[in-house]
């Protein structure tokens, strides 16, 4: 749903730009005309004697332009200042992001065959007992921010969100995370993180 709204917004902006020049352009159906945005960067692999290898990431976005007048629709945007938006929501939307991220991590862990909620609590506890430092690089810093619930001032949306803070406190106080969570989460997700780092 979010991707289709983004596509519609970009298509609407492009169409408004084209229409403002002179009329509206319809592109032939036989040759679909895409607008492509490409963002990429490469990282050279070090310590190779003879070869040159570059590891990289690329993000490609492709939007097909309209080939029928019925595809041309107006997108009505209602701009509103940030202060007004905050007042209507009755709080800070960013305060709920951590809990949304945690739900996503739990779903990924379940997809890997692990009990998501218990394993996330275990990894938060283990990280609090032995936190990742700046020496772990950018990925380590990101994991540190994500796995430390007390690192941000988040509103506790539900009572169930308090268990994340409890797991962190247990790890900081030197409690045995393995003894507490091993029955529900036999494999430590921290092992997966250490492989990535």
How confident is the prediction along the chain (197 residues), in pLDDT tens digits per residue?
566 667 767 777 766 665 555 555 566 666 666 778 888 888 877 777 777 777 788 888 877 777 666 666 655 555 556 555 444 555 555 556 778 888 888 888 888 888 888 888 988 998 888 887 767 777 878 888 888 888 777 666 666 678 888 899 999 988 888 888 888 888 787 776 766 65
Task: Please state at what angle helix 97-111 crosses helix 137-146, rounded to 10 degrees.
Answer: 110
The pLDDT score that the predictor gives to residue 49 is 76
> Helix or strand or coil: residue 33?
coil
The pLDDT score that the predictor gives to residue 100 is 82
The pLDDT score that the predictor gives to residue 76 is 54
Strand-pairing partners, residue 42, are 56
Burial string for 74-104 (b: 16+ CB within 10 Å, else e) reads eeeeeeeeeeeeeeeeeeeeeebebbeebee
The pLDDT score that the predictor gives to residue 41 is 81
The answer to whether 170 touches 177, Cβ cutoff 8 Å, is: yes
The pLDDT score that the predictor gives to residue 143 is 82
The answer to whether 102 touches 120, Cβ cutoff 8 Å, is: yes
Cα 27 from Cα 17, distance rounded (Å): 15
Domain ranges of the chain: 2-71, 93-196
């Amino acid at each position: 749903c979010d991707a289709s709204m983004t596509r519609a917004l970009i298509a609407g902006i492009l169409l408004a730009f084209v229409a403002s020049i002179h009329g509206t352009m319809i592109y032939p159906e036989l040759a679909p005309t895409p607008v492509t945005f490409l963002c990429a960067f490469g990282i050279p692999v070090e310590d190779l004697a003879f070869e040159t290898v570059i590891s990289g990431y690329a993000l490609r976005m492709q939007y097909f332009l309209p080939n029928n007048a019925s595809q041309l629709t107006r997108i009505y945007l209602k701009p509103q200042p940030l202060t007004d938006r905050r007042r209507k929501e009755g709080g800070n939307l960013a305060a709920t992001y951590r809990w949304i991220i945690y739900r996503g991590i739990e779903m990924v862990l379940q997809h890997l065959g692990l009990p998501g909620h218990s394993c996330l609590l275990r990894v938060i506890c283990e990280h609090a007992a032995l936190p990742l430092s700046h020496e772990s690089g950018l990925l380590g810093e990101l994991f540190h921010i994500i796995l430390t619930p007390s690192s941000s001032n988040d509103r506790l949306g539900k009572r169930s969100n308090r268990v994340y803070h409890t797991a962190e406190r247990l790890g900081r106080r030197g409690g045995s995370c393995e003894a507490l969570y091993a029955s529900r989460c036999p494999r430590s997700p921290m092992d997966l993180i250490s492989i990535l780092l």
